[in-house]
Structure 1
Amino acid sequence: MVGIYERAKTETGYHATYFLRMLSEHGGLETARRLVGSGQPSEGFTSLYLKHRLDLTVEHLMLEEEFSDLFSVELTEIARDRLRDYGIEK
């Protein structure tokens, strides 16, 4: 999770300070659950969409095979549907 924060900052100039604060307060797993389960795309998701970098979103990361066992089927589907709604098939 810190890795996608660093990449977004370096590669797009997006400083996700709220995301970083959430990570330090709640850890990566709970941050992902909160952001994806919120019902609406986060501000960070929207900012990265506008920069054409949805590959740097929590939704994209949580669908990676190595992390798939950490999330419920419901949360995984929310992430997949959100990416699909914005033009990314994962």
Structure 2
Amino acid sequence: MNDTERRFERAMVDIYLTAKRELGYNATRFMQMVSERGGLATARQLLWSDQPSDGFETLWRHGRLDLSVEAHVIKEEFAELFTDEDRERARTRLDDLRRT
């Protein structure tokens, strides 16, 4: 795991901690996935699932899409970890919810 992957994994853990502290949202399944598969594999799995995760919708309801996996996928600091298609998928999902 390179430095960027380690920072991304830490960011995934920080999503969980911030959502729990600030929103009272305990994303147990998300943390289980990160622990078992790693942050990068978890992000890709969630990103390419047919439906947004329950956690994504919870963050949207709280106005905190900044804490979503999708928001982290499109951050410049993590660009090397994702394909153009990954980033486009993340942008589309974020844009779709912002329009509702």
State the TM bucket, normalised to the shorter chain. Answer: over 0.9
- Match for residue 37 of structure 2? 26
Give the distance between the partners of 2:16 and 2:79, measured in 1 at CA: 20
Amino acid in structure 2 at the alignment position of 1:28:
G
The residue that corresponds to 2:97 in the other structure is 86
1:60 aligns with 2:71: yes
Could you list the runs of 4 or more consecutive aligned residues of structure 1 that deviate by over 6 angstroms after TM superposition?
none
Q: Percent identical across equivalent pairs?
A: 53
CA distance in 2, matches of 1:40, 1:77: 16
Length, aligned pairs only: 88
CA distances 1:29-87 after superposition (whole Å, capped 9, x unpaired): 00000000112111100111111111110000111111111011111111000001111
Question: Structure 2 matches for 1:4-83, cutoff 5 A?
Answer: 4-83=15-94
Q: Distance in 1 between matches of 2:70 and 2:80?
A: 14
Structure 1 unaligned segments of length 5 or more: list them.
Answer: none
CA RMSD of aligned residues (A): 1.1
Pairwise CA distance, 1:6: 0.5
Range 60-69 or range 21-30, more displaced? 60-69
Tell me if structure 1 keeps the 8 A contact 2:70–2:94: yes
Q: What is the distance in 2 between the residues matched to 1:64 and 1:4? A: 14
TM-score in terms of structure 2 length: 0.84
Q: Take 1:84 and 1:29, find their aligned partners in 2: how far apart are those partners?
A: 22
